[in-house]
Structure 1
Amino acid sequence: MRLNTKIQNLFLEFTCLLYIILFVYAAVSKLLDFENFQAQLGQSPLLSPFADFVSYSVIVIELIIAVLLSIPKLRYFALWGAVALMSMFTAYIVIILHFSYFVPCSCGGILEKLGWTEHLIFNVVFVLLAIVAILLQAMNNRILIQLSVLVLGSVLIITGLFLFSEDIMQKENPFIRRFPQASAAKVGSIDLRNPSYYVAGTDKNKIYLANRLAPLQILKIDSNLKNKKKYTIKLDRENFKFQAVEVRVTAPYFYVIDGTVPVIYRGLISDWKAKVISENRFYFSDIVFINEKQAVFRTQNPRTVENIVGVSNSYERKDVKYNPQVLQKQLDGIFDTDGTLQYSTTLHKLIYTYYYRNQYIITNESLVVEHRGNTIDTTTKAKLKVLKIKQSGDTKLGAPPYMVNSRTTVWGNLLFVNSLLRGKYEGSKVWKYATVVDVYDISKQTYVLSFYVYDEEGFRMQNFLASDSALYIISGHYLLKYGYGKRIQSRI
């Protein structure tokens, strides 16, 4: 009998010592790398909105339990706390592995080299150790029921946090980005030896680049970034005073445009010969071509000079309709409504994303607004200093603008947004050599994930275009190919 009591005491001492080592080491590790610990919690699909509170409370609770375990009279109660805390950790891992839409990076500290499955086994072993230690001290008919209630309650708390977190992230997002693994990564690059290229369009396994300094020169590159071929666009007329010629490729056509001149050229990419299809019908500051007859564009209202969106239903007739309700004025109706215009050929929807506020607009091809969604930042109102020059009547910006969303591109139901704002728990170091891209599912009106596009030899991302399998990016004089990981592929 004495032998059994001695073994029980040794087991109890051994269990408490293991827990003390575990909790003290874990808490100290978190404190020594606290900023990274908070960042990891910020990326958690369960704990993102609660990262501030959890980051402090977990450390405090671990240290309190460790201290109580070292006091013989309080060990029994401390073991109950250990079971509750480790049950929460275990439930967290189960939800991460089986119910979360992405699995974040592994934890640091004492478990740095363990994967999530190994973490689960580790936690279960520690939960069982504490339960056995409690049973050896107070074996009665109700103790198992009480332990079951404790474990179940701990699991329900974590489950509730998961459900509540998802609701907050989608409806009340506190500007926390998620960077799951297997989202997007560079799979190729090619040196163009010229920084004036931009991506004009894609077609199957081909990427078409245009040159701002040589507007009628086209460079075709295969999707493997190996084979290149140059073309020269031939215009049937050249009697226009162009200022900034741009080429858009929407296979099988290409378009030559300059919104300061009300002229649109079109030709086939099979021969690169362009003819004027629209002349003196409308000016535009941005335009997308829906099909061979329709185009949607942004221009200025001739009466108010404010931005307005219109649709041209025929290049041959003056069939142009405007919808002044699409863009919503906050300050001046010019700068505050500026943004990017995209078109999803899969959904047959138009997407307009504001530069200076956290909103994108989805319309049908007739410019009927179907949804106004928000990007994940919290800038609901454009932060602009707009000046009205009395002498000339011009409207100008009196200070550098606070830009929220810069470049955008669309493929299928996914909207890719190059945001210029750093989110919570994102280190300042990575922003010095990388650009962030946020991805939204416009069919579900939800934020999906984010990923970084890293500078190529010091060159930042300048232009990008999404295709069915990759994102093509211009960084300085390099063309980069970022392949989609399974997290993005599963959404397309």
Structure 2
Amino acid sequence: MRPKTKSIIIELVCLLYVLLFVYAAVSKLLDFENFQAQLGQSPLLSPFANFVSVVVIFIEFIIAFLLCIPKLRNIALWGTLALMSMFTTYIIIILNFSSFVPCSCGGILEKLGWTQHLIFNIGFVFLAIVAILLQSVNNRILIQLLILVLGSVLVIIGLFLFSEDIMQKENPFIRRFPQATAAKVASIDLRNPSYYVAGTDKNKIYLANRLAPLQILEIDSNLKRKKKYTIQLDRENFNFKAVEVRVNAPYFYVIDGTVPVIYRGLISDWKANVISEKKFYFSDIVFINDKQLAFRTQKPPAGENILGASSGNDDPEIKYNPLVLQKQMDGIFDTDGTLQYSKTLHKLIYTYYYRNQYIITNENLTVDHRANTIDTTTKAKLKTVRLKQSGDIKLAAPPYMVNRHTSVQGKLLFVNSQLRGKYEGDEVWNHATVVDVYDLSKQFYLLSFYVYEEEGGKMKNFFAADSALYIVSGHYLLKYGYGKRIQSKI
């Protein structure tokens, strides 16, 4: 090839790279906050987002500048090849080994899909190699190129492995919001803000009403058709204070732990009979099957929370395990939380309200695992006071809520967290509620997604069914269909 032709090709490659790097760096700089937030959602770069966001822009500007100086062009091309090899390796890992694919990181490639992004990068890697070969007189140039590319690849692989270790162990509280997780597919106006999801069965959702405890609203899974039922109790001679309805098909349960009483009936006729009366008080309860249940109660004399399990109906065997819930302050508020059951895993899951921990036990309340939610609140932040006259312990200030609502479906735990992570702006948090998703079988954080307000009403409660999350938001019932990233884990 003629020297003049070589020179023209090298000049063109350098010009293309200058345009690429300057445009990309300026685009990131002009929308730096968004660029940094996108890096914060990256499976590889989450823990290093602050540092990397600055360094990448700086390097792109520096290389573009060096490419414009003929005497430094050779060094700049080697730097270009190293940087593009890293970018390309990053995309390959994202597409093939990452638990999710985040948003792109701005610049000229923001409008490209990740596969197109990969092809684009491979093309520019090839151009850099061609330019280096054309201006080189070194006989060992191919070996040097191989070493450079291999070294760049190993750097990104190392970042990936190190990043995953930090995300799971050191927990810097950076949420991940991948695409194709969950999205609203339907909604229906309930015309009443007092409803809550009592349970589901096949293609039906059952809602109960806190102001009319024995009224049931049945809605089909497409949120199109509604039916109303009234529960009939065989006895009503109780001093009810906190009646709730739970659906565990084919049964439904009417409960009040302050009485305490438990009714059970079939959803086919909505007639309920007493199956447990004044046998144990409870503040939360889950029904494992028609003969087994688990509950939270308070043990005397201090009234600290404790979990119990009951088997049998006529003469139930009741067992308590005081070792499940771990006291930090008073044993009452600091151990408060939600109790759920996974039919798939045959496990009970207890999630604390005020600290970053959930507990997995078997059906007999033997602890299998203690795992952490993504936030870093290891100790409950509560201020309590003991009333002198009655001796009762009360909250002296609003509590620092960590995990508000939970629901379990299959192997996944859905948590409505009240804490904002890094790179999450005011605009989203003012109009949405976050749901974090955890893999119970492996005890680690998977991903998060937002549930947006419906006409100004934020999420009150939700229920995870087999194919969708049903949410009561204000006076609306929302259906958030699962994307493939959640469906593949359930």
TM-score range, shorter chain: over 0.9
Residue in structure 2 matched with residue 39 of structure 1 by the alignment: 37
Q: Tell me which of 455, 467, 470 is aligned to 1:469.
A: 467
CA distance in 1, matches of 2:212, 2:150: 68
Corresponding position: 1:353 with 2:351? yes
Residue in structure 2 matched with residue 422 of structure 1 by the alignment: 420
Q: Tell me which of 290, 293, 300 is aligned to 1:292.
A: 290
Residue in structure 2 matched with residue 53 of structure 1 by the alignment: 51
Report SS of the residue matched to 2:281: coil
Deviations 1:383-408 (A, max 9, x none): 11122223321111111110000000
Kindly provide the amino acid, as one letter, of the partner of residue 317 in structure 1: D
Residue in structure 2 matched with residue 169 of structure 1 by the alignment: 167
Corresponding position: 1:77 with 2:67? no
Q: Tell me which of 353, 360, 363 is aligned to 2:361.
A: 363
- Paired residues for 1:137-286 under 5 Å: 137-286=135-284
Residue in structure 2 matched with residue 484 of structure 1 by the alignment: 482
Taking only aligned residues, the RMSD between alpha carbons, in angstroms, comes to 1.3
Q: How many residues align?
A: 490
Q: Tell me which of 427, 439, 442 is aligned to 2:440.
A: 442
Residue in structure 1 matched with residue 321 of structure 2 by the alignment: 323
Gaps spanning 5+ residues in structure 1: where?
none
TM-score, scaled relative to structure 1:
0.97
Report SS of the residue matched to 1:13: helix
Residue in structure 1 matched with residue 114 of structure 2 by the alignment: 116
Once the two structures are TM-superposed, the CA of residue 168 in structure 1 deviates from its matched residue by 1.8
Report SS of the residue matched to 2:47: helix
CA distance in 2, matches of 1:197, 1:236: 24
Corresponding position: 1:403 with 2:392? no
CA distance in 2, matches of 1:412, 1:16: 54
Once the two structures are TM-superposed, the CA of residue 13 in structure 1 deviates from its matched residue by 2.1
Once the two structures are TM-superposed, the CA of residue 40 in structure 1 deviates from its matched residue by 1.0
* Residues 43, 164 of structure 2: 8 Å contact kept: yes
Deviations 1:289-324 (A, max 9, x none): 111122211111122211111112233225221110
Residue in structure 1 matched with residue 452 of structure 2 by the alignment: 454
Kindly provide the amino acid, as one letter, of the partner of residue 355 in structure 1: Y
Once the two structures are TM-superposed, the CA of residue 119 in structure 1 deviates from its matched residue by 1.6
Once the two structures are TM-superposed, the CA of residue 277 in structure 1 deviates from its matched residue by 1.1
Residue in structure 2 matched with residue 7 of structure 1 by the alignment: 5
Deviations 1:85-125 (A, max 9, x none): 01111111111122222211223212222222222222222
Kindly provide the amino acid, as one letter, of the partner of residue 456 in structure 2: G
User: Does 157-166 or 332-341 show the bigger shift?
Assistant: 157-166
Once the two structures are TM-superposed, the CA of residue 171 in structure 1 deviates from its matched residue by 2.0
Kindly provide the amino acid, as one letter, of the partner of residue 98 in structure 2: S
User: Does 334-343 or 49-58 show the bigger shift?
Assistant: 49-58
Deviations 1:160-201 (A, max 9, x none): 111222222222221111111111111111111111111111
Report SS of the residue matched to 2:419: coil
CA distance in 1, matches of 2:293, 2:85: 58
Report SS of the residue matched to 1:281: coil
CA distance in 2, matches of 1:279, 1:247: 16
Report SS of the residue matched to 2:426: coil
Once the two structures are TM-superposed, the CA of residue 441 in structure 1 deviates from its matched residue by 1.0
Deviations 1:12-60 (A, max 9, x none): 2222222222112211111111111011111111111111111111111
Deviations 1:241-269 (A, max 9, x none): 11121111111111111111111111111
